[in-house]
Chain A
């Protein structure tokens, strides 16, 4: 679609054409009736492409001002001079590439004459007339609406706004759902998991009045579960993944580590966006986009990708059209898309229209100059900082509206502006959108506060709207939340929950979770800062130190984590593979080691390099805590028992032959206190993180995309895909029917379940319904289950019941 707009080109050339072949005499123009003679002609022959929101070739005749303004190639109508008006040339041209309209019936000579006469008479227009009401332009500034009074004690601002809306339409508020339905919905929406049966029972038994709000708050406080659920949403929106196109040639960088920490720490959204725009090495991947090997068209360079991604992810603006030519469907222009791209560009960026240079250099600029502008002359990092500041400017209501609308969509099943990437369109409720947006800003951009506000509303807690087979989307009116289909990740996670078959390994290069304060307090490092010689305080610039530790483990670790940092950089190799690296000594790395260490002999090689330009202090520190199956813990820390090697391993971490040891071992660096003062606390935190933070069930969001998830709609993440498919389709269903992945999980799940003592097969069914559907089975359902389970359930019977329940629409929907 880089140049998918042929008609507009044609129009542009047609308008540029001034035919001199027919000498037209400017006879005294006849009296023309605009409303009855001109409007019908324009509507019939030009209206499809040049009225309302349509403006092919950037030319609209929706109202007189736009008619006279002309299009990309200049004026179309010169009042009083039909002979020189390109519009007349276009409608009379015989050249199929230039004529207007490009297809369909030609204008009759009578109609052409009417138009000539009308133009010669000054192109008189009826005051205030427009073919269609002008395109909606969303307000930019934030606005805090006055809240209507609460009705029936429903004080949540969301309810006050929606109740007023319902009252105005004389519509009845949807009925509230029961506690169990609410609990299932809140769990799946906020942390992406089913409520465990015990937790659900406890919640149902709870008699306190505010238990729903308390549940919402407690779910949002589950940092790890929250982060690992919302990781899916953000990976989609920021097109981050652990495998995919571009990685093979190094044309793409993950932001996983950065994103995961940002979510676990619930980083304020304004800061979050600033870090993505004015990026650090860890968050660079979003701005950098995907660089393909070979030539790409002008509309697909990484600079243009930057403009498109920033526009779509943060502002709900689709700049894909405007990256190639002035958009026909909204107000964005080629120069604006290139302006945004030029903020990121490090060299000169030539403006291209439909992949052809137009002889202009893009000026770095951003989309809403009314809030301020970037300095096009500033260096790139400075420009990005300025863009980040403008994006998160307190007066940029578009930024907050876009994200709260996305969160509303995730929880309520439909955007206030819909689709959520089309923020240029009108919301169905201005007050609701504006309130949520200002609420976010007032709450220091804490996204969890927005989620809490929505999830604690009566609106969220009401029955899902029941749509017929023919939901009329054109005239949306709020009538309760809408059921959502489980995402691929939610489906996989819930299957793992019920069957207890989650994998123990995952692909995302992160250390999961967050350590407890106590664990950080209790963490005392034993590792020492070491270097190859005693004069480490005056190590040469660029000096390299290779240290090795060999040790044996009596069994494979059940948990192992480490921390490392070096002044100035290090690479860590374990058993001949690169495991971690760092080049900022003030930012120690937490490293997960469970899968890197093995029973028997292990070796760790640290390659550290000093920086600077003259002699300066050098040192490296590492410590691992390894927990074995028998409960014992091994600590491996840098100290003078580490060997010093003469040369580092190759880039892959391998030694061609057994490396020669230097004379003597590593030396503990004197005066390491200075480092410890600065990073001692962080070293302890990171080690506690790596070695002790809780490790709940591995989540599908941490795994590479696989066949099942792809089939269930997890996108390839080569483009930003912010909304997943709402339908289950036949090919997916085939896989759910006979795919090996699911079948294996069900088999393992069945044996796990059968290992438990069930008083009766009904008890098993009841447990399953509680877990999967958060309700008790009806007698009819119990009896159907009994038919397949019998009195003494077999593995096959349990598998079949599991399958049948997992396939129920009731299960596959967050209803």
Chain B
């Protein structure tokens, strides 16, 4: 059970009640218990909130944060000559370059730790949703129990920062009506932790306010009256004392929490129409930009973990299998202003120090190599790889798992720091400080004050925050 809104006078009593309720219900369903026999020492948190900026579909590092030799489009140029399709530009950090098109982000890179050596496994077919499952849960599917999302771990272990604010909010990803929706749902979940720790899904940031508003067409007065009728009916219920407290209490508490959020001042955080026009415009590159703005407003109001995605849709956005260069130019436009503005705004509000912002993707891309050299990954492209004939074939169209960039801002990480390195010539694999998903997660967990060895007992077996509790945080990146 996470921390819940409490009447200050009754805090202790309530807390004990909740504990008891948790015990009773947990045991009734064989739900996960925090493993008592593992002596886990949580690190001291350097961040209270985390915003995960998810570049769903495979963000090519050489076309974003890890520029290599630039090869412009020319008819007849050998494809093997293509490493980057964008020239490099300087950033606010001496000697650190990123790709053209990310000028605004370049200007805030002096607040960032740039990890250039993230790596992923090859799972035969390099499939987006499978790698996304792995990235978000730390476990490669299929699993024998439903693995919880990173955000669910935060919700479970840390609880909400502000009791009325859901601990785990997922912005921008539609889960209905898009390709691989079932596969996306499989990891967008609290898994065996139970729905209490699952995401509040807000696929349309502009419409997020609706999720915390009384139902359409119900004015606040009526909404309150309805709830007050409900509470009175509960009080007058002749069977109240003939029903188990733990069942009733959990229902009443949840409805109370819901009503509290729906009538709270924090509700305004969800409403982008309340943002000053000028500020809104700085973010508004579409749903993704609006999502960044929403994330800022949510964190300002006490959100614990917010994921904002460019949205994964097969063959759309980062999933570039043709027209790679032009598509990525569009992605640059979509991400540059809002991410930079998010960092500036968090900083201006004094929140950046305690908010870890992470930009990540399930893997990188390359013009020539699928997976990493030597892997059995199946080719994902069909167009010719000898020489370039058409503009639509100019781009990084293959899934590459050997070296991916991750950018972190705030939350206790070093400023203007580069961690890890990829080779300058193909294969562009991580040659220094390779960082597998479990270590990346360990780093994020550590910043949030969660030991990567944290384990819960499910079905009598331990289940760790990072696989086998083996994830190791990269200590060097902490300030």
A245 at the interface (CB under 8 A from B): yes
Find chain A residues with CB under 8 A from B460 CB: 318, 321, 329-330, 422
Choose among A295, A414, A473, A803 the residue that contacts B226 (Cβ–Cβ < 8 A).
A803
CA distance A421 to B469 in the complex (A): 26
Find chain B residues with CB under 8 A from A780 CB: 236
Of all chain B residues, which has the CB nearest A707?
Answer: B176
> Which of A211-219, A428-436, A690-698, A731-739 is the interface stretch?
A731-739
Given A726-B29, A734-B211, are A6 and B216 also a contact pair (CB < 8 Å)?
no
Which parts of A47-68 form the interface with B (CB within 8 Å)?
48
Q: Is the CB of B257 within 8 A of A730?
A: yes
CA distance A464 to B247 in the complex (A): 12
Q: Is the CB of B468 within 8 A of A464?
A: no
Point out which of B29, B145, B255 has the most chain A C-beta atoms below 10 A from its C-beta.
B255
Point out which of A330, A469, A796 has the most chain B C-beta atoms below 10 A from its C-beta.
A469
* Closest CB in chain A relative to B296 CB, distance in Å: 22
Which parts of B213-263 form the interface with A (CB within 8 Å)?
213-216, 222, 225-226, 229-230, 232-234, 236-239, 241-252, 254-255, 257-259, 261-262
Point out which of B144, B237, B245, B246 has the most chain A C-beta atoms below 10 A from its C-beta.
B144
Q: Is the CB of B234 within 8 A of A808?
A: yes
Find chain B residues with CB under 8 A from A300 CB: 142-144
Given A421-B459, A804-B233, are A719 and B255 also a contact pair (CB < 8 Å)?
no
Point out which of B140, B145, B166, B226 has the most chain A C-beta atoms below 10 A from its C-beta.
B226
Which parts of B180-218 form the interface with A (CB within 8 Å)?
180, 182-183, 185-186, 189, 194-196, 198, 200, 210-216
B28 at the interface (CB under 8 A from A): yes
Q: Is the CB of B236 within 8 A of A718?
A: no
Point out which of B4, B21, B239, B463 has the most chain A C-beta atoms below 10 A from its C-beta.
B239
The proximity string for A residues 292-320 relative to B, scoring 1 for CB distances below 8 Å and 0 otherwise, is 11111101100001001000000000101
* Closest CB in chain B relative to A774 CB, distance in Å: 11
Which parts of A795-812 form the interface with B (CB within 8 Å)?
796, 800-801, 803-805, 807-810, 812
Which parts of A612-636 form the interface with B (CB within 8 Å)?
none
B423 at the interface (CB under 8 A from A): no
Q: Is the CB of A809 within 8 A of B211?
A: no
Which parts of B85-101 form the interface with A (CB within 8 Å)?
none
Tell me whether chain A's interface is mostly helix, strand or loop, or mixed. loop
B385 at the interface (CB under 8 A from A): no
Q: Is the CB of B141 within 8 A of A292?
A: yes
Choose among A290, A467, A719 the residue that contacts B246 (Cβ–Cβ < 8 A).
A467
> Which of B120-128, B298-306, B349-357, B408-416 is the interface stretch?
B120-128
Q: Is the CB of B229 within 8 A of A469?
A: no
Of all chain A residues, which has the CB nearest B242?
Answer: A466
A427 at the interface (CB under 8 A from B): no
* Closest CB in chain B relative to A117 CB, distance in Å: 30
Q: Is the CB of B39 within 8 A of A103?
A: yes
B20 at the interface (CB under 8 A from A): yes
Q: Is the CB of B262 within 8 A of A731?
A: no
Find chain A residues with CB under 8 A from B213 CB: 738
The proximity string for A residues 467-484 relative to B, scoring 1 for CB distances below 8 Å and 0 otherwise, is 111110100000000110
> Which of A129-137, A338-346, A511-519, A781-789 is the interface stretch?
A781-789
CA distance A77 to B141 in the complex (A): 40
CA distance A77 to B443 in the complex (A): 42
Interface size bracket, A side: 35 or more
Q: Is the CB of B258 within 8 A of A1?
A: no
A243 at the interface (CB under 8 A from B): yes
Find chain A residues with CB under 8 A from B243 CB: 464, 466, 483, 809-810, 813, 815
The proximity string for B residues 255-283 relative to A, scoring 1 for CB distances below 8 Å and 0 otherwise, is 10111011000000000000000000000
B462 at the interface (CB under 8 A from A): yes
Q: Is the CB of A805 within 8 A of B195?
A: no
B307 at the interface (CB under 8 A from A): no
Find chain A residues with CB under 8 A from B250 CB: 727-729
Find chain A residues with CB under 8 A from B142 CB: 290, 292, 296, 300, 305, 718
B30 at the interface (CB under 8 A from A): yes
* Closest CB in chain A relative to B225 CB, distance in Å: 7
CA distance A718 to B189 in the complex (A): 12
CA distance A320 to B145 in the complex (A): 9
Find chain A residues with CB under 8 A from B124 CB: 293-295
Given A730-B257, A734-B258, A801-B229, are A470 and B234 also a contact pair (CB < 8 Å)?
no
Q: Is the CB of B257 within 8 A of A733?
A: yes
CA distance A707 to B142 in the complex (A): 23
A323 at the interface (CB under 8 A from B): yes
Point out which of A778, A788, A808 has the most chain B C-beta atoms below 10 A from its C-beta.
A808
Q: Is the CB of B237 within 8 A of A419?
A: no
Q: Is the CB of A483 within 8 A of B244?
A: yes
A389 at the interface (CB under 8 A from B): no
Which parts of A717-750 form the interface with B (CB within 8 Å)?
718-719, 721, 723-734, 736-740, 743
Q: Is the CB of B182 within 8 A of A243?
A: yes
B25 at the interface (CB under 8 A from A): yes
* Closest CB in chain A relative to B261 CB, distance in Å: 7
Given A465-B244, A726-B28, are A800 and B229 also a contact pair (CB < 8 Å)?
yes
Q: Is the CB of B245 within 8 A of A467?
A: yes
Choose among A4, A330, A707, A732 the residue that contacts B463 (Cβ–Cβ < 8 A).
A4
Choose among B126, B249, B251, B262 the residue that contacts A812 (Cβ–Cβ < 8 A).
B251
CA distance A104 to B37 in the complex (A): 12
Q: Is the CB of A727 within 8 A of B30?
A: no
CA distance A787 to B229 in the complex (A): 9
CA distance A330 to B461 in the complex (A): 11
Q: Is the CB of A778 within 8 A of B238?
A: yes
A579 at the interface (CB under 8 A from B): no
CA distance A292 to B257 in the complex (A): 39
Q: Is the CB of A738 within 8 A of B459?
A: no
B479 at the interface (CB under 8 A from A): no
22 contacts between A and B (CB under 8 A): A2-B143, A4-B467, A248-B183, A300-B143, A330-B460, A419-B29, A467-B24, A471-B24, A471-B244, A716-B186, A718-B186, A725-B195, A726-B29, A726-B247, A734-B166, A734-B200, A737-B255, A788-B226, A808-B230, A809-B234, A809-B243, A809-B252
Taking A733-B254, A781-B233 as known contacts, 20 extra A-B pairs with beta carbons closer than 8 A to each other, sorted by chain A number, are A1-B144, A1-B463, A4-B464, A5-B462, A295-B124, A296-B140, A466-B245, A471-B27, A471-B246, A718-B142, A725-B31, A731-B166, A733-B257, A734-B212, A737-B255, A739-B215, A800-B222, A807-B230, A808-B237, A810-B239
User: Which residues of B are at the interface with A, using a C-beta cutoff of 8 A?
Assistant: 4, 17, 20-21, 23-25, 27-31, 37, 39, 122-127, 130, 139-146, 166, 176, 179-180, 182-183, 185-186, 189, 194-196, 198, 200, 210-216, 222, 225-226, 229-230, 232-234, 236-239, 241-252, 254-255, 257-259, 261-262, 376, 459-464, 467-470
